[in-house]
Structure 1
C-alpha cells in the first residue's frame, strides 16, 4: 500500500479544491433556481460555468441580475391568494371551503 505523505503545500491545494468545488456547486444550484432564466439561458450558463470555470463563475455573478423583488413592490404587484386558489372553485364566488355539499 502506498504511503501517504503530505508536502508543505499539498493541504493548501486540497483546501483550494474544496473551496472551488463548493463555489462551483453553489453557482450551479443558484443557476438552476433562477426564476428569470429560461431553458436556453440555463444551458448556456451551465456550459460557460463548466468549461470556463473561473471566468464563467465570475461572469455569472457579475452579469446576472438578482431575483429579489423589494417587499413594497411585491406587495403591490399581485393580490393575495385565496383559500381556494388553484382549485375548480376559484372562480365561483359562492363557494367557501367550509360549505358542505
Structure 2
C-alpha cells in the first residue's frame, strides 16, 4: 500500500493555502462592502467564515444575495438641465447668467 505523507512544503499544499487565503480575503472584503448587512450580520458571517472556513465560505457564497438592482426596478430619469445635481436643479427661475 502506498504511503501518504503530508508535507507542508509540497508545492501542492503551498498552492492550496495561497488559493484558500485569496478566497478568504475576497469573501471578507465582499462581506465588509455589503450594503444590506448590518453590524450583527457582518459579525455573524465573519465568525462563521473564520471558525468553519470551508462550510462558512460555501454557505456565504450560496446564501447571500447580490446587491444588484433587480431587473424590474425603475430606471433613473435623465437630468432636467445641465445644472443637474445642484440645489437649483428644479428651480425654474434659475438662469446660467449670474448678471440677469
Shared topology, TM-score over 0.5?
A: yes
- Whether 1:28 and 2:34 are equivalent positions in the alignment is no
Please, which runs of 5 or more residues in structure 2 have no aligned partner?
Answer: 1-6
Give distance in 2, aligned partners of 1:47 and 1:99.
58
Q: How many equivalent pairs are there?
A: 87
TM-score, length-scaled by structure 1: 0.69
TM-score, length-scaled by structure 2: 0.70
Match of 1:65?
Answer: 65
Deviations 1:38-66 (A, max 9, x none): 11101110111111111110110111111
Larger radius of gyration: 2
Candidates 65, 82, 85, aligned match of 1:83? 85
Flag the structure with higher helix content: 1
C-alpha RMSD over aligned residues: 2.5
Classify the secondary structure of the residue corresponding to 1:46: helix
Deviations 1:46-90 (A, max 9, x none): 111111111110110111111111455151xx6567321xxxx36
